[in-house]
Amino acid sequence: MADTLRPQAAPPAADLVRRAISGRRVDIGARLFEGILLFSLLIALAILVVLMADVIGRGWVVYAERGTEFLTSGNSRDPAQAGVGQALFGSLALMVIVAIVSFPLGIGAAIYLEEYARDSPLTRFITVNIRNLAGVPAIVYGLLGLAVFVVALGDLTGPNSNGRSIISGGLTLGIVVLPLVIITASEALRAVPDTIREAALGVGATRWETIRSHVLPYAAPGILTGTILSMARAFGEAAPLIMVGGAASFVAAGDANLIDQLFGPYMAMPTLVYNWAGLPNQEFRALTSAGIMALMTTILLVNGIAILLRNRYARRW
Amino acid sequence: MVDPLTVRTRTDDVAATGATEHESPTIRVMTTGHELDESEQIAPGASGPAPQMDFAADQVVFELDQLSCFYGSFRAVRDISLKVPKNQITALIGPSGCGKSTLLRSFNRMNDLIDSARIEGRILYHGVDLYENGVDAVEVRRRIGMVFQKPNPFPKSIYDNVAFGPRVAGFRGNMDELVEQSLRRAAIWDEVKDKLKTPGTALSGGQQQRLCIARAIAVEPDVILMDEPCSALDPIATLKIEELMRELKENYTIVIVTHNMQQAARASDVTAFLTMGEDRAGYLVEMAPTQELFTRPINRLTEDYITGRFG
Amino acid sequence: MTDQPRLTHEDLRGSSARRRRELMVRSLFLSAAAVSVIISALIIVSLVGEAWNFISQVDPGNLRTDGWFPRRDMFDIGTIVAGTLVVAGVGLIVAIPLGLGAAIYLAEYASPRWRGTLKPILEMLAAVPSVVLGFFALVVISPTIAQPVCDAFTGASPIFSMGAAGLAVGILITPLVASIAEDAMYAVPNSLREAAYGLGARKRATSLRVVIPAAVSGIMAAIIVGASRAIGETMIVAMAAGGTGGSLFQLNPCQPGQTMTAAITALATGSDRVRGADLAYPSLFFVGILLFVFTLVLNMISERFVRRVRLRY
């Protein structure tokens, strides 16, 4: 063969380089590492799937058998008749009060901190304070609600039930989510470019005129998203409600008028789930799951609306 | 007439670098027969530590008296004394970082927006101390408008951009007319008259800046401050704005900060040159009618800057 | 502009009506901000008031007993603190590897498209309320995981156990840990990574030796926040850990136990007889203060860590 007659030259330099920098070096360690990381992510996601599957698996039979009647009936000792109607109403009423309490206070505080406050020890104290409040366990707010709204102001908030009313519950939950509203609203305000404020002030507008006409409209989608997400969070909170009386077990199926319902004993979705989960009767397992389905659907719906709104109103210009 | 006691020439001990506080900078004396308007009465040059051009009392819009601007304990601008003439274009030039913008923003109390900002000395606006107790910064800003470096129209319609200022100031007249007049005066009416309801942010850079000028004009100010208004624009847009400035000075007093020397030379009537001292504070080196400053600068520093030896 | 006569000070005073309105609006917003301070004060006052009732009246001997039986005047703090630590500990053992692993993957390996899909799913997990996870612990985790494991290791496998609750708590805080850690890693400037790649480092080395150390403050903050949340978790424990009106001191996660949080709810659900002559009611607030202080300290520590992250860039 012709090759063997020629002296073997050294492989050209280009070849050496090519070999050095190309080639699939199978680094098992790296692959393994990446695999482990992906695995942990997938486990977390798998748990969510398993959770959903279990809940739906246990609970769908209730809807299959009873349909929407489950959603409208009041509570009852008889599993065949017990429904989440009262609890849904209670939760809805709670959310209205939460909104009334936390939105004005929260957004107002955020506006003050972001638009008016100078950087001073007082301002920093308030900011730190709010961040700490955000980290306080919900049950501690329950104690606060108990001491203030139930015991101290009981006659005001719930004359029919020793102070354990929707008003007390709503006020307590409102305080639970207040730090969250403040923090998300603050972030939304901070995202407004300073050039807009400068431009408005430069033309002879006051602070408030600037905020009202330019800053707030710009930040509104972000603020809205934040407040809706806070509501979703409040909807699922049970611990504070237990402390201020929301776990009263069987409420008389009543056609009590609205005022009585607001100032009297009540049920809410998360505490109903808690009650049912603790009942020894196995049939309530399915009911609990069905209740959870209603609870989760509401929460996911609200979260979804918030995100949809945020995307839709993302800066158009 | 020239006051022999105060004139210095180039060869004298003019500070070459970093003038310190006590060194007296050049005194610029006005002689008659220069490029400014004949209608102005120019008083003989004032002697004293501060270099300034002098004008007749009713031709002075701003008078700065040993003005220093601080951010906390850092002094950004030191002991500026000068006068700004009415219906002229006054340019503030100098290397970057020497406090020109800070100085400009003290004219309309925009520095109030920064927590740590404060001033020493005085700024008199038509004889009134701008920082006196009781003076409302909002009212100041209505009379002394500002156009910023990067065009910043509101994310609203062109109409609403222009109408905002008058609205909050309580304007009760015919808004449509006012908007049109402002857009005309800003030389942009023809380009936008058919799309007043479209967003201001959809315009080109140069158009946005002219919109910002229209917005500033709408509140019928007395002065328009411009902080490097063309630095974000292309050359053609820049020339349009410079042309516009020449038209505007008929009705408004204009003070412009620019780091573009050619622009200052082209477009302004009076120029003040500032530079940074060793203490990192800006100070006034020289102020003169533009032609004179650029052709016969008195201070060595000025000459170095103009010829490009530094900055 | 015509030649104006000299201005007077009066001309620059502005509209007093406008100024008044400004002041009113500003005060309004200030009071809103002040409310947040008032709430903190209220928490402290209401907690401290009743807690003091408890502390001043309780017999110190009753603070170290065999268990927490508030209706029988046995207030062993050690029991509930130990329970809290066991549950939180199990939770962290779950959440730290899962959370950090997921975070590293999302920050360093996932393509932007995947990140956009996977992150929201992780956030969905965060939206699950704790009652739901408590139920999950009771009907799924306990029978399928906790009981078999406990049976194999200790021979005993009660339905209610701190371990089952702990696992559910771990699931609860994983998204939180992952989110904070991922933010911290994502915030590491790309220039650092590029520097490493430029030196010939591969992905794993870069992640482990460059990104993680740079983000370590944020990662610590993530863990501490997770721990704080785990300590403050109530519903899962109330439903699955088996603590009732009273429990003995217990360190074995395979056994039921009581945490500080569930101790509070246990007393509250015991009917309206919460106010009574006995010390049960005030003891709630004493535990509440403990809880408040615990979480406050943890949160302040994590703040320190987060501040260090911000300062670095």
How big is the CA angle at B180 (ends B177 and B182), to the nearest 5 degrees?
A: 105
CB contact at 8 A, C50 and C281:
yes
DSSP class of A210: H
% residues pLDDT > 90 (chain B)? 60
CB atoms within 10 A of CB C111: 8
Higher local confidence (pLDDT), A138 or A8: A138
- Contact at CB, B165 and A203, closer than 8 angstroms: yes
- How confident is residue C22, by pLDDT bands cut at 50, 70 and 90? very high
Contacts of B252 (CB under 8 A, 6+ apart): B87, B217, B221, B222, B223, B224, C1
Max avg pLDDT among A277-291, B133-147, C5-19: B133-147
Residue B40 falls within a domain, yes or no? no
Helix (H, G, I), strand (E, B) or coil at B278: coil
Over residues C191-206, mean pLDDT? 82
Chain centre distance of CA A232: 4
Q: Where are the domains of chain C?
A: 12-57, 61-312
Asked if residue B16 belongs to a domain, the reply is no
Cα–Cα distance between B163 and A296 in angstroms, integer? 48
Question: Which residue, chain included where needed, has tokens 């309780």?
Answer: C58
pLDDT for the residue numbered B37: 37
Q: Give yes or no for A274 touching C (CB within 8 A).
A: yes
* Dist. CA C96–CA C174, nearest whole Å: 7
Q: Is B271 helix (H, G, I), strand (E, B) or coil?
A: strand
Q: Tokens 């748990």, residue?
A: A47
What does the block give as tokens for B265?
A: 């030379």
Nearest CA distance, B238 vs chain A (angstrom)? 20
How far apart are the C-alpha atoms of B218 and C295, rounded to whole Å?
Answer: 55
Q: How confident is the model at residue B311 (pLDDT cuts 50, 70, 90)?
A: low
**Residues of chain B positioned with their CB less than 8 A from the CB of A204:** 138-139, 141-143, 145, 165, 168-169, 219
Closest in C12, C18, C19 to B128, CB measured: C12
pLDDT (tens digit per residue) in A19-62: 777 666 667 777 888 888 888 888 888 898 999 999 999 988 88
Distance CA B180, CA B182 (A): 5
DSSP letter assigned to residue A205: -
Q: Does the beta-carbon distance from A133 to C233 stay under 8 Å?
A: no
CB-CB contact of B19 with B277 (8 Å):
yes
Closest residue in B to C22 (Cα–Cα): B138
* Confidence (pLDDT) at B15: 36
All residues of chain B having their beta carbon less than 8 Å from the beta carbon of residue A216 are none
Q: What is the pLDDT of residues B234-284, one digit of tens each?
A: 999 999 999 999 999 999 999 999 988 889 999 999 999 999 988 889 999
CB C150 within 8 A of CB C163: yes
Q: How far apart are CA A146 and CA A172, in angstroms?
A: 9
Residues B115-169 have pLDDT tens digits of: 889 999 999 999 899 998 889 999 999 999 999 999 999 999 999 999 999 999 9
Give residue B72's domain range. 57-306
Q: Do A199 and B138 touch (CB under 8 A)?
A: no
Provide mean pLDDT across the span B105-123.
92
How would residue C118 be classed by pLDDT, with cut points 50, 70 and 90? confident
Classify strands C74-75 and C67-69 as parallel, antiparallel or unpaired: antiparallel
Mark out chain B residues that contact chain A at CB-CB < 8 A: 108, 110, 113, 115, 138-139, 141-143, 145-146, 148, 150, 152-155, 164-165, 168-169, 199, 201-202, 212, 215-216, 218-219
Among residues C47, C76, C59, C80, the alpha carbon closest in space to that of C278 is found at: C59
Which has the higher per-residue pLDDT, A11 or C122?
Answer: C122
Q: Is the pLDDT of residue A167 over 80?
A: yes
- The Cα–Cα gap between A261 and A160 comes to 9
CATH of the structural domain C61-312, one choice from 3.90.280.10, 2.102.10.10, 3.60.21.10, 1.10.3720.10: 1.10.3720.10
| A198 vs A163 pLDDT, higher one | A198
Task: Report yes or no: B288 and B53 within 8 Å, Cβ to Cβ.
Answer: yes
Report the domain count for chain B. Answer: 1
Task: Tell me if B138 is assigned to some domain.
Answer: yes
The CA-based diameter of chain A, rounded to the nearest angstrom, is 111
For A182-199, b/e burial (b = at least 16 CB within 10 A) is: bbbbbebbeebeeebbbb
pLDDT band at A246 (very low <50, low <70, confident <90, very high): low
pLDDT at B59 (0 to 100): 87
Q: Which of B113, B164, B201 sits opposite A203 (nearest CB)?
A: B164
Contacts of A117 in chain C (CB under 8 A): 33
- Across chain C, where does the E strand assignment appear? 67-69, 74-75, 247-248
Residue B18, domain member (yes or no): no
Q: How confident is the model at residue B24 (pLDDT cuts 50, 70, 90)?
A: very low
Distance CA B215, CA B182 (A): 7
Q: Look up the ipTM and state it.
A: 0.88
Choose between C3 and A292: higher pLDDT: A292
Minimal CA separation from C109 to chain A, in Å: 8
Contact assessment for residue B148 and residue A195, using Cβ atoms and an 8 Å cutoff: yes
pLDDT at site B106: 94
Q: How far off is chain C from A69, nearest CA to CA, in Å?
A: 22
Contact B91, B270 (CB under 8 A): yes
Lowest model confidence (mean pLDDT) among B41-55, B93-107, B260-274: B41-55
Structure-model confidence comparison of residues A247 and C8, the more confident one: C8
Return the number of CB contacts < 8 Å for A and B. 67
Task: Among A30, A58, A112, select the one facing C204 at the smallest CB separation.
Answer: A30
A158 has pLDDT over 70: no
Contact in structure between A305 and C133 (CB atoms under 8 Å)? no
Specify the higher pLDDT residue, B184 or B311: B184
pLDDT at A9: 64
Rounded to a whole number, what is the distance in Å from the CA of B13 to chain A's nearest CA? 42
For range A274-299, the mean pLDDT: 90
Chain B neighbors of A196, CB-CB under 8 A: 152, 154-155
Given a cut of 90, is residue A102 above it in pLDDT?
A: yes
Q: Are C299 and C225 in contact (CB under 8 A)?
A: yes
CB-CB neighbors (< 8 A) of C234 in chain A: 137-139, 238-239
Span A197-203, average pLDDT: 95
Strand order across the beta sheet in which C247-248 lies: C74-75, C67-69, C247-248
| Of C9, C15, C18, Cβ closest to residue B135 | C9
Both tokens of residue B300? 């060595």
pLDDT at residue A310, as a whole number: 78
Residues linked to residue B119 through DSSP beta bridges, in sequence order: B69
Mean pLDDT of C267-296: 76
Calculate the alpha carbon distances from B41 to B34, B36, B57, C67, C253 in Å. Answer: 12, 10, 9, 97, 95
Q: How many residue pairs bridge chain B and chain C with CB atoms within 8 Å of each other?
A: 40
Q: Which CATH superfamily groups domain A77-312? A: MetI-like (1.10.3720.10)
Q: What is the CA radius of gyration of chain B?
A: 20
Q: pLDDT band for B17, please (50, 70, 90 cuts).
A: very low
Residues of B in contact with A213 (CB under 8 A): 164, 168
Nearest alpha-carbon partner for B282 in B31, B55, B62, B79: B79
User: What does the alpha-carbon distance between residue A118 and residue C217 come to, in Å, rounded to a whole number?
Assistant: 28
Rg (CA), chain C: 26
With a cut of 70, say whether residue A251 has pLDDT above it. no
d(CA A83, CA A275): 13
